[in-house]
Amino acid sequence: MTLDQNLIVFCEPDTLPLLQAMRPKHLLSKTVFIPMSFEDFPLTKYRSQILANRVAKPSPDNRNTASYYLLCMARYAMLKRAIAENPFGSTHFAWLNICIERMGYRNVLELPRVFEINRDKFSTCYIDYQRKEDYLESVMRWGRCSMCSGFFTGNACYMKAFCDRIEAKFLECIEKGYGHADEQLFSLVYFDDPSIFEVYYGDYTEMITNYEWVKERANQPLYLLIKHSYDAGDYNTCLPGCIALWRSWKLGFARLSELEVTHLIWYYEQTLSHLGLPRVLE
């Protein structure tokens, strides 16, 4: 709440005074508060259907209740409203979980630099590659996630396009009897059209620190994203991961063991070969 950026804060009406008090007075001109009851968001009407789906196809993870799933889905309605009303005349938008610091204080330290980059395409942290062919059954049913929804960015056009598409995927999956967490829907949007994405790589604790370069826990994208996408034969997803990690290592941001660098070079060269590209590391 002390971030020196334009903030649009959605909150329940009874928490408005608490949040207003957290915002420094000199930043109030950069702040719009929108009190709104959770029950007023359009997708909450599907709570009973989500609950029924979970009886028919139970999930082993009870942390993400139906209400929590709907709360996460509400963020896309918030973003679309922010883009439509655009009180600050912004060209680019970011979603930022208010609890972002619990994922690690380094994420907070990196925030000021991240907001200077202004990527146009929808940009989120790609954590773990999941196969498209068996995604619904292996991921949607069992509660695994692939991309991070705690922080993401994009210009108004790409952000709205993503929000529209993820809400459409929500409805499709509800009809098919699935529905666990909004993050599971990210990959379904990605599978349909990767061209609207500009992803970066890490885990939940790196959702901001790795936005520009792979700085923290560099071996995670090596074995979760690069290896898994290579094994699945998805070389178009594997190659950008190889390039991002290789450049981060070459520039001294990513720390990898000698064996990990050897593995990275192998995946990089093999992926280039499969794509019919010269086996030259950039």
Do both 54 and 187 map to the same domain? yes
Q: How high is the pLDDT of residue 163?
A: 98
Q: How high is the pLDDT of residue 280?
A: 85
Do both 32 and 92 map to the same domain? no
Do both 13 and 132 map to the same domain? no
Do both 174 and 277 map to the same domain? no
% pLDDT > 90, the chain: 76
Last residue within a domain, chosen from 155, 182, 212: 212
Do both 122 and 194 map to the same domain? yes
Do both 98 and 204 map to the same domain? yes
Domain count, the chain: 3
Q: What angle do CA 104, 109, 110 make, to 5 degrees?
A: 100
Do both 108 and 197 map to the same domain? yes
Helix ranges, 86-155 (H): 105-114, 135
The pLDDT tens digits of the residues spanning 136-160 come to: 777 666 666 789 999 999 999 999 9
pLDDT band at 135 (very low <50, low <70, confident <90, very high): confident
Do both 197 and 221 map to the same domain? no
Last residue within a domain, chosen from 212, 232, 264: 212
Do both 115 and 189 map to the same domain? yes
| Residue 183, CB-side half-sphere exposure with 13 Å CA sphere | 23
State which H helix or E strand residue 261 sits in. Answer: helix 258-274
Q: How high is the pLDDT of residue 213?
A: 96
Do both 9 and 77 map to the same domain? no
The pLDDT tens digits of the residues spanning 26-58 come to: 999 999 999 999 999 999 999 999 999 888 877
Do both 161 and 46 map to the same domain? yes
**Domain with 187 in it:** 40-212
The pLDDT tens digits of the residues spanning 177-233 come to: 887 789 889 999 999 999 999 999 999 899 999 999 999 999 999 999 999 999 999
